[in-house]
Amino acid sequence: MSKRAPVLTPQTQDFPRWYQDVIAKAELADNGPVRGTMVIRPYGYGIWELMKSEMDRRIKLTGASNAYFPLFIPQAHLQREAEHVEGFSPELAVVTTAGGKQLEEAIVVRPTSETIIGQYMAKWVLSHRDLPLLLNQWANVVRWEMRPRLFLRTTEFLWQEGHSAHATQAEAATYASRILNDVYADFMINELAAPVFVGRKTPAERFAGAVNTMTCEAITRDGKALQMGTSHELGQNFARAFDINFLTSAGERKFAWTTSWGTSTRMVGGLIMIHGDNDGLRLPPRVAPIQTVVLAIKPDVVELAARIADDLKAAGTRVLLDDRTDISFGRRAIDWELKGVPTRIELGPRDIAAEKAVLVDRTNGTRTSIPLPGIVRSVTGCLDAAQVTLLNEARTLRDDRVADVSDLGHAREACEAGGWARIPWSLVIGIGEKELAEHGISVRCLQDADGGIPLSDDDPDLYALVARAY
Amino acid sequence: MSKRAPVLTPQTQDFPRWYQDVIAKAELADNGPVRGTMVIRPYGYGIWELMKSEMDRRIKLTGASNAYFPLFIPQAHLQREAEHVEGFSPELAVVTTAGGKQLEEAIVVRPTSETIIGQYMAKWVLSHRDLPLLLNQWANVVRWEMRPRLFLRTTEFLWQEGHSAHATQAEAATYASRILNDVYADFMINELAAPVFVGRKTPAERFAGAVNTMTCEAITRDGKALQMGTSHELGQNFARAFDINFLTSAGERKFAWTTSWGTSTRMVGGLIMIHGDNDGLRLPPRVAPIQTVVLAIKPDVVELAARIADDLKAAGTRVLLDDRTDISFGRRAIDWELKGVPTRIELGPRDIAAEKAVLVDRTNGTRTSIPLPGIVRSVTGCLDAAQVTLLNEARTLRDDRVADVSDLGHAREACEAGGWARIPWSLVIGIGEKELAEHGISVRCLQDADGGIPLSDDDPDLYALVARAY
């Protein structure tokens, strides 16, 4: 397909523009009428639904239950945890009129449900028997955005936020880390084919009110960092602020230890920027709303194409029959490439005569003539391979992009050249972190020598991964 | 269990109080801090999740796709469809401050997404090839409530709203009716075991802007009506207001025909009021988050109870092991009855010795001693039967409650005695509908002689079903 004029701005020419183009042309999302809001179109929402379902399964395996807390929070309630509210106050949307009247007390549209969930946890947790309390919520939240970007940073976004309360610090720490590793990182690696780094945030980068923030960080194809999900140990800070206490089996009253953790529609943005190429999206089959398109080139092959689509569907593949033979073959092929459908069967009259079809692999761009008998196995094999290929490709790209450096100057150079740097934390801690920040570079996370998550940020021999971030 | 003091206010004594008690004691929901809002607790949300999943499956079978539209709508946009906005304006919540500043243009929190979806449909629909456009959205909406009641009428509620655009009036009518029958009524009857009436709303009761509103109406155990879901034909009213037009294959530009349809967390309230009894909820197995509890009476049977629970789980039953042997057996049994878990296995040391267990059927209250071998079959058989029993029981209760009458006076009497009346529409139309309204009685729907949905509201020989409604 090298001869056609590019449908998208090439990635190397202007990556942010390419990103915008893909979202529009693959019909993923539109801007909403209120600045910074987003309309998620059916194809984009289909990706999110698959993500949600796989995330939800993993969250429930940790023992958590879903619940729903109100959109509206009295402004006064938000002020209980001082440090927390400070983090959010510039971003709040405030309702002052309702039901035709001025409200006596202003109401905030939730920027997170941290405070309201804290309040109800306090009501529900009475004894050690009520612990651990493991809650999750799928909901919309609002944070007023000055520089919105579809999926990455929108005034309203969809997310899940988990909140748990435990009897001991150790249990809370174990749970927060289980969420980061077994839910978030596992989901991102195995479903999104996104080889994220896991690590610990520096004190400066921690969530307001947390004692430890753990993160999954992805590298985009333009070499920047994208925070994909975080899990926080909140110590007893929120428990004290909201009075979440319990009676131990020995009859003592103690504060609980809480955690919180979240991921959002931002992951859709990540998916686009981690795998997309100059022809459009490339979706990992596990989160592709359409895994295979069966494209009938001419009307006389529609019947056979439909039969092949049925066979693929019966084999458990998410399949779509493209029988729009009144639209040119080329235009349709380009559209499916834009949408990143992992595999495409092209069926023309000549193919039928030869009992063959063309299997196009969107992931690596190959076109193979395959025999009609056994076509289902060819497609499912191609899908399995695509999932692995995308992960491996992203992993190679990731490893190529990270420079091991031993001073701040080289770290800065690596980031300014469109990459990341790994540098001993001892060289960055304190003044170094501020210096890098002046150049728009942040410490994405701290890791131990093996790439694992350190238990504290003053362990010796830690490494800092630094980059420019979205 | 007849000897114990009632845990709940008896239904015949004070039904609304019983309803409130059940919601609190079965841990379904709590009031939120902002008046009229609701916290849906894990057990209540578990019911909603099962409902959503079954509804979503049916919606997708009609060809619709899910999408997501913004929470915030510019106030000016809402005013495009005059009749529609009039219906909602007293209920709006308005955001006037955001990001620390007074907004230049006020923003409304969506009371429905009708107008914003209309606007995007206009953008996406260009040619006849883009039709039908079948969209659905799962979201929260806000309507300021003066007399809130948990699940039935809350300031914020969760719902699905579907919106479709078609090339012809006939296609739109067929689709709206398919949604009402194959999605809504089918779901309510087969999953919720709620034998709803289907029918057509009178012009006075129609959705603002609709040319035809079809409805599913349930009878609660106190003889009132509860609207469980509606599907609207909007004619070309919204298409004209939002300029949803398309080029026909003949090259003419025409307005589309649109529909909209919705159901909400109100269905959870319906479920409670249709099946609950003086001991608490009674959940139809198909929407029960826990279908079977295996209750270990003493510590020495916990191991066997766990094995039975595993077997039930392996057979596809949603099961919970209750091994809290430090809490009295009686208290736990009462709790599970309150929560309406359809079946309960009680296992004590004496039962084990006899290779037996007690199977309690929450739906009809029977306790049966059953042999341990074959216990899985006994439970699944009991669950299948419970689903049928609840539907039949509700159907009998429904039929007993509806009086056939031939004048307005008797209709009023029937409703004031806690029932419904079926009366020829010709006796109600016009002044009759207003007279009944003065006594708090409304026409719930119009039906033809066979209980089907009439194609117009001036067909001869129609019947009106009239009642007091929640």
* Bridge partners (DSSP) listed for residue A234: none
Residues in chain B: 470
pLDDT at A45 over 50: yes
Q: What's the gap between Cα A432 and its chain centre?
A: 29
- Averaged pLDDT for residues A6-31: 96
Contact B109 A107 (CB under 8 A): no
Nearest CA in chain B to A36: B70
User: Minimal Cα–Cα distance from A342 to chain B, Å?
Assistant: 20
Nearest CA in chain B to A48: B67
User: Minimal Cα–Cα distance from B450 to chain A, Å?
Assistant: 39
- pLDDT on residue B89: 76
Nearest CB partner across the interface for A33, out of B67, B73, B95:
B73
Nearest CB partner across the interface for B34, out of A45, A48, A107:
A107
Look-up of token digits 């080029």: B247
Cβ-based contacts of B139 with chain A (< 8 Å): 140
Cβ-based contacts of A32 with chain B (< 8 Å): 69-70, 72, 116
CA atoms of B178 and B181, how far apart (whole Å): 5
Cβ-based contacts of A129 with chain B (< 8 Å): 324
Nearest one of A401, A393, A115 to A243, comparing CA atoms: A115
Mutate to test the interface with B, among A28, A62, A71, A158 (most CBs of B within 10 A): A71
Contact A46 B33 (CB under 8 A): no
Element (H, E) at A38: strand A38-40
Q: How large is the ipTM? A: 0.96
Residues in chain A: 470
- pLDDT on residue B295: 98
Report the relative pairing of strands A257-264 and A156-166 from DSSP bridges: antiparallel
The mean predicted confidence, pLDDT, of chain A is 95
Q: Residue B97: what are its φ and ψ, rounded to 5°?
A: -125, 135
User: Minimal Cα–Cα distance from B213 to chain A, Å?
Assistant: 26
Contact B68 A42 (CB under 8 A): no
Mutate to test the interface with A, among B95, B322, B332 (most CBs of A within 10 A): B95
- pLDDT on residue A84: 64
User: Minimal Cα–Cα distance from A239 to chain B, Å?
Assistant: 19
CA atoms of B386 and B382, how far apart (whole Å): 6
CA atoms of B470 and B466, how far apart (whole Å): 13
Structure tokens at A148: 């919105």
Contact B65 A42 (CB under 8 A): yes
Contact B68 A40 (CB under 8 A): yes
Structure tokens at A299: 């009307």
Determine whether A104 is exposed, middle or buried from the number of CB atoms within 10 Å of its CB (0-12, 13-18, 19+). exposed
**A294-339 residue pLDDT tens:** 999 999 999 999 999 999 999 999 999 999 999 999 999 999 999 9
- Averaged pLDDT for residues A217-226: 97
CA atoms of B232 and B259, how far apart (whole Å): 5
User: Minimal Cα–Cα distance from A99 to chain B, Å?
Assistant: 5
Cβ-based contacts of A41 with chain B (< 8 Å): 67
Cβ-based contacts of A77 with chain B (< 8 Å): 33
CA atoms of B84 and B96, how far apart (whole Å): 23
- pLDDT on residue A76: 84
Nearest CB partner across the interface for A72, out of B37, B48, B123:
B37
Contact A66 B89 (CB under 8 A): no
CA atoms of A411 and A419, how far apart (whole Å): 9
Q: What CATH number was assigned to the domain covering residues A285-385?
A: 3.40.50.800
User: Minimal Cα–Cα distance from A120 to chain B, Å?
Assistant: 9
Q: Residue A404: what are its φ and ψ, rounded to 5°?
A: -85, 120
Nearest CA in chain A to B31: A70
Contact A97 B97 (CB under 8 A): no
Structure tokens at A405: 């450096």
Contact A68 B155 (CB under 8 A): no
**A388-438 residue pLDDT tens:** 999 999 999 999 999 999 999 999 999 999 999 999 999 999 999 999 999
Contact B72 A155 (CB under 8 A): yes
User: Minimal Cα–Cα distance from A457 to chain B, Å?
Assistant: 33
Nearest CA in chain B to A105: B34
For chain B, give the secondary structure using H, E and C: CCCCCCCCCCCCCCHHHHHHHHHHHCCCEEECCCCCCEEECHHHHHHHHHHHHHHHHHHHHCCCEECECCCEEEHHHHHHCHHHHHHHHHHCEEEEEECCEEEEEEEEECCCCHHHHHHHHHHHCCEHHHCCEEEEEEEEEECCCCCCECCCECCEEEEEEEEEEECCHHHHHHHHHHHHHHHHHHHHHHCCCCCCEEEECCHHHCCCCCCEEEEEEEECCCCCEEEEEEEEECCCHHHHHHCCEEECCCCCEEECEEEEEEEECHHHHHHHHHHCECCECCCCHHHCCCCEEEEECCHHHHHHHHHHHHHHHHCCCCEEEECCCCCCHHHHHHHHHHCCCCEEEEECHHHHHCCEEEEEECCCCCEEEEECCCHHHHHHHHHHHHHHHHHHHHHHHHHHHEEECCCHHHHHHHHHCCCEEEEEHHHCCCHHHHHHHHCCCEEEEEECCCCCCCCCCCCCCCEEEEECEC
Mutate to test the interface with A, among B72, B120, B128, B153 (most CBs of A within 10 A): B72
Cβ-based contacts of B42 with chain A (< 8 Å): 65-67, 135
CA atoms of B159 and B137, how far apart (whole Å): 8
Determine whether B450 is exposed, middle or buried from the number of CB atoms within 10 Å of its CB (0-12, 13-18, 19+). exposed
Contact B66 A89 (CB under 8 A): no
- pLDDT on residue B351: 86
For the domain made up of B290-389, the CATH class stated in words is alpha beta
Structure tokens at B365: 């209250």
CA atoms of B152 and B264, how far apart (whole Å): 9
Mutate to test the interface with B, among A38, A56, A72 (most CBs of B within 10 A): A72
Look-up of token digits 């993160």: A215
Q: CB within 8 A of A389, min separation 6: which ones?
A: A363, A364
CA atoms of B77 and A126, how far apart (whole Å): 48
Nearest CB partner across the interface for A91, out of B45, B99, B144:
B99
CA atoms of A133 and A97, how far apart (whole Å): 36
Q: What's the gap between Cα B188 and its chain centre?
A: 7
Cβ-based contacts of B156 with chain A (< 8 Å): 70-72
Q: CB within 8 A of B18, min separation 6: which ones?
A: B8, B9, B10, B11, B276, B278
- pLDDT on residue B82: 66
Nearest CB partner across the interface for A33, out of B65, B116, B155:
B116
The SS3 assignment for A250 reads coil
- Averaged pLDDT for residues A149-178: 98
The CA dihedral of A273, A276, A282, A288, to the nearest 10 degrees, is: 20
Nearest CA in chain B to A93: B98
**Predicted TM-score of the model (pTM):** 0.96
Which amino acid, one-letter code, is at B218?
Answer: A
- pLDDT on residue B352: 86
Q: CB within 8 A of A187, min separation 6: which ones?
A: A51, A54, A55, A58
CA atoms of B308 and B319, how far apart (whole Å): 10
Nearest one of A216, A374, A384 to A286, comparing CA atoms: A384
User: Minimal Cα–Cα distance from A96 to chain B, Å?
Assistant: 6
Is residue A179 within 8 Å of A62, Cβ to Cβ?
Answer: yes
CATH, domain B400-467, list 1.20.1300, 3.30.110, 3.40.50, 2.60.120: 3.30.110
Where does the pLDDT of residue A88 fall: very low under 50, low under 70, confident under 90, or very high at 90 and above? confident
User: Minimal Cα–Cα distance from B363 to chain A, Å?
Assistant: 26
Nearest CA in chain B to A119: B33
Cβ-based contacts of B97 with chain A (< 8 Å): 93-94, 96
- Averaged pLDDT for residues A349-367: 94
Q: What's the gap between Cα A404 and its chain centre?
A: 26
- What are the extents of the domains in chain A? 15-275, 285-385, 405-467
Nearest CB partner across the interface for B156, out of A41, A71, A94:
A71
Contact A66 B46 (CB under 8 A): yes
Full pLDDT tens readout for chain B, 470 residues: 445 567 899 999 999 999 999 999 999 999 999 999 999 999 999 999 999 999 999 999 999 999 999 999 998 887 766 666 666 777 899 999 998 889 999 999 999 999 999 999 999 999 999 999 999 999 999 999 889 999 999 999 999 999 999 999 999 999 999 999 999 999 999 999 999 999 999 999 999 889 999 999 999 999 999 999 999 999 999 999 999 999 999 999 999 999 999 999 999 999 999 999 999 999 999 999 999 999 999 999 999 999 999 999 999 999 999 999 999 999 999 999 999 999 999 999 988 889 999 999 999 999 999 999 999 999 999 999 999 999 999 999 999 999 999 999 999 999 999 999 999 999 999 999 999 999 999 999 999 999 999 999 888 899 999 999 99
Which amino acid, one-letter code, is at B94?
Answer: V
Nearest CB partner across the interface for B142, out of A30, A71, A135:
A71
- pLDDT on residue A158: 98
User: Minimal Cα–Cα distance from B400 to chain A, Å?
Assistant: 37
For the domain made up of A15-275, the CATH class stated in words is alpha beta
* Bridge partners (DSSP) listed for residue A343: A292, A361
pLDDT at A85 over 80: no
Cβ-based contacts of A66 with chain B (< 8 Å): 42, 45-46, 49
